[in-house]
């Protein structure tokens, strides 16, 4: 049952740490799940963290490390010797081990690997460290169970027993040929219900979905989601089985992708959390504010250019914020739909022209609704006809323009391999502000000439 880290537990732990009472510390933390212990670590200072680490068993130490927040782990590792790290890494799955060693300063990496007891394990880890972290190779672990096509079930089970010693969790059994080329999977269910004399070749499932090591993590996430698989085998360019990715690692990728898009839209340029330091948060947020600031300055110049009209018709200023805000909102809606569609692979197969046409139809419907409402309001509140028609007509044009802009920009960015999410957020609102004001004054000039 998951537990809440209580203030009481933290208080007791702090008291035990103050007395440097190892037994009391151990008693408090030994039954915690490593994920809960990692949360406790967020509240400890480096000396306390090191003391608690020393109290743990070797297994607990190893399990704790991958669960820690990156900055907490960095501090803790910097206080450990290479030997201590090597001992922990020896007990970790290869994917977690490779991630952990990659975070160490380069001069320590070699040293830690060479101090590991299990040489095969350290070779595997060194191999994994060569892959880009945003690819299937960077996500995969090498621990898996493989059986040969020609074995019978009894041999399989015997071999699986041997291999299982190395593997922490068994989710699937992979079937390979003599060249180690992945041929299919043998489900545990099949293994359970098949007579022991049966040959693997006759009972395995050849329909297996696999990826190559250079597949991007985003694609890995999409594939696992689409095909509902919990573990995905990874092959090299010759189709040989080299690793497997479990979905729990991919869930993190999926969440990171989603929160990257979210932060981009909210005008935050780094992955930050509310618990980060003030200056880190400030640094992540300032760039987009400066973009908006520049946009505001440009907008001020557009308005300044029409100062003479404003002197004659100061009421024109009334609806400037409305026009700017509506353009920004529609632009965000349009681009958000494209960005999500690109992320989830759910865009229609039609060309950019069809997509624009559709978006313009949606825009036209909403533009008509908003413009007519606004016209009714303005006429009812006795604003001049010139102003009333200016505002409504400008609003329509601005909305349609924002639809076009919001659709084309993310699609174009994506085509040039730039993150389309850049198109959402302050950039699009700022640009729409400026263009919206420009359109507004153009329409006003025409209208005030008419009436």
Q: Is the dihedral of CA 194, 199, 202, 205 positive or negative?
A: positive
Of the pair 23, 227, the CB lying nearest a copy of itself is at 227
Contacts 24+ apart (CB under 8 A), 74-78: 74/103, 75/46, 75/49, 76/41, 76/46, 76/49, 76/50, 77/103, 77/104
- Please name every residue paired with 232 in a beta bridge, in sequence order, or none if there are none: 245
Of the pair 35, 385, the CB lying nearest a copy of itself is at 35
For residue 443, the minimal CB distance to a copy of itself (Å) is 16
* Contacts of a copy of itself in 358-387 (CB under 8 A): 358, 361-362, 365-366, 369-370, 373-374, 377
Neighbours of 64 (CB within 10 A): 23
**Secondary structure of residue 95 in the 3-state scheme:** helix
- 102 in contact with a copy of itself (CB under 8 A): no
- 41 in contact with a copy of itself (CB under 8 A): no
- The Cα 246–Cα 249 span in angstroms is 6
For residue 121, the minimal CB distance to a copy of itself (Å) is 17
Of the pair 13, 324, the CB lying nearest a copy of itself is at 324
For residue 83, the minimal CB distance to a copy of itself (Å) is 27
Of the pair 115, 404, the CB lying nearest a copy of itself is at 404
Binding mask 179-218 for a copy of itself (x = CB under 8 A): --------xxx--xx-------------x-xx--------
Binding mask 121-150 for a copy of itself (x = CB under 8 A): ------------------------------
- Please name every residue paired with 148 in a beta bridge, in sequence order, or none if there are none: 176
Judged by CB under 8 A, the residue of 74, 169, 202, 270 near a copy of itself is 169
Of the pair 109, 432, the CB lying nearest a copy of itself is at 432
Of the pair 58, 169, the CB lying nearest a copy of itself is at 169
- 394 in contact with a copy of itself (CB under 8 A): no
Near a copy of itself by CB under 8 A, which window of 12-20, 54-62, 156-164, 442-450? 156-164
* Contacts of a copy of itself in 54-93 (CB under 8 A): none
* Contacts of a copy of itself in 261-320 (CB under 8 A): 261-263, 265-268, 272-275, 278-279, 281-282, 285-286, 288-290, 292-293, 295-297, 299-301, 303-304, 307, 310-311, 314-315, 317-320
- 8 in contact with a copy of itself (CB under 8 A): no
- 415 in contact with a copy of itself (CB under 8 A): no
For residue 397, the minimal CB distance to a copy of itself (Å) is 15
Of the pair 81, 266, the CB lying nearest a copy of itself is at 266
- The single-letter DSSP state of residue 205 is B
What tokens were used for 311?
Answer: 């002197």
**Secondary structure of residue 155 in the 3-state scheme:** helix
Judged by CB under 8 A, the residue of 161, 240, 415, 445 near a copy of itself is 161
- Please name every residue paired with 245 in a beta bridge, in sequence order, or none if there are none: 232
For residue 418, the minimal CB distance to a copy of itself (Å) is 19
Q: In angstroms, how far apart are the furthest CA atoms of the chain? A: 96
Of the pair 21, 39, the CB lying nearest a copy of itself is at 39
Binding mask 211-230 for a copy of itself (x = CB under 8 A): ------------xxxxxxxx
Residues in Cβ contact with 205 at an 8 Å cutoff, skipping those fewer than 6 apart: 184, 185, 186, 187, 190
End-to-end CA distance of the chain: 73
Binding mask 229-268 for a copy of itself (x = CB under 8 A): xx---------------xxx--xx-xx--xx-xxx-xxxx
What tokens were used for 207?
Answer: 């329909």
> How far from chain centre, in Å, is Cα 280?
19
Give the alpha-carbon dihedral of 220, 224, 225, 229, to 10 degrees: -170
Per DSSP, helices labelled H in 147-213 are 153-164, 188-193, 200-203
Closest CA to 444 of 394, 402, 395: 394
- 24 in contact with a copy of itself (CB under 8 A): no
Judged by CB under 8 A, the number of residues near a copy of itself is 119
**From residue 443, how far is each of 39, 360, 439, 450 by CA, in Å?**
58, 20, 6, 11
Closest CA to 28 of 46, 49, 52, 45: 52
């Amino acid at each position: 049952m998951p537990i809440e880290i209580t203030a009481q537990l933290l208080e007791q732990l702090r008291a035990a740490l103050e007395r440097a009472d190892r037994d009391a510390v151990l008693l408090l933390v030994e039954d915690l799940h490593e994920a809960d212990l990692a949360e406790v670590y967020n509240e400890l200072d480096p000396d306390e963290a090191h003391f608690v680490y020393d109290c743990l068993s070797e297994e607990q130490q190893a399990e704790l490390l991958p669960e820690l927040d990156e900055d907490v782990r960095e501090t803790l590792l910097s206080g450990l010797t290479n030997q201590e790290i090597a001992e922990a890494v020896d007990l970790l799955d290869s994917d977690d081990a490779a991630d952990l060693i990659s975070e160490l300063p380069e001069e320590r990496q070699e040293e830690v690997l060479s101090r590991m007891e299990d040489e095969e394990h350290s070779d595997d880890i060194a191999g994994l460290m060569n892959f880009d972290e945003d690819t299937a190779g960077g996500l995969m672990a090498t621990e898996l169970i493989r059986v040969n096509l020609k074995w019978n079930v009894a041999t399989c089970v015997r071999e699986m027993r041997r291999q299982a010693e190395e593997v922490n969790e068994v989710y699937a059994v992979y079937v390979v040929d003599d060249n180690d080329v992945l041929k299919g999977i043998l489900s545990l269910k099949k293994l359970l219900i098949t007579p022991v004399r049966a040959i693997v070749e006759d009972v395995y499932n050849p329909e297996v979905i696999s990826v190559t090591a250079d597949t991007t993590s985003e694609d890995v996430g999409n594939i696992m989601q689409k095909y509902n698989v919990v573990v995905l085998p990874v092959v090299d360019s010759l189709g040989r089985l080299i690793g497997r990715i479990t979905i729990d690692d991919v869930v993190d990728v999926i969440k990171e992708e989603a929160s990257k898009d979210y932060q981009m839209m909210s005008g935050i340029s780094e992955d930050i959390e509310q618990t980060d330091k003030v200056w880190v948060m400030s640094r992540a947020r300032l760039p987009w504010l400066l973009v908006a600031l520049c946009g505001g300055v440009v907008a001020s110049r557009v308005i300044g250019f029409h100062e003479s009209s404003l002197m004659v018709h100061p009421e024109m200023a009334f609806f400037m914020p409305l026009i700017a805000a509506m353009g920004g909102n529609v632009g965000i809606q349009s681009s958000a739909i494209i960005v999500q569609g690109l992320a989830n692979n759910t865009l229609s197969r039609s060309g950019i022209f069809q997509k624009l046409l559709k978006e313009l139809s949606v825009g036209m419907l909403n533009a008509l609704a908003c413009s007519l409402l606004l016209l009714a309001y303005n006429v009812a509140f006795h604003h001049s006809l010139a102003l009333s028609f200016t505002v409504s007509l400008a609003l329509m044009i601005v909305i349609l323009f924002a639809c076009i802009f919001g659709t084309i920009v993310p699609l174009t960015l994506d085509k040039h391999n730039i993150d389309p999410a850049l198109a959402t957020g302050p950039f699009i609102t700022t640009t729409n502000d400026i263009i919206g004001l420009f359109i507004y004054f153009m329409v006003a000039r025409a209208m005030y000439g008419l009436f």
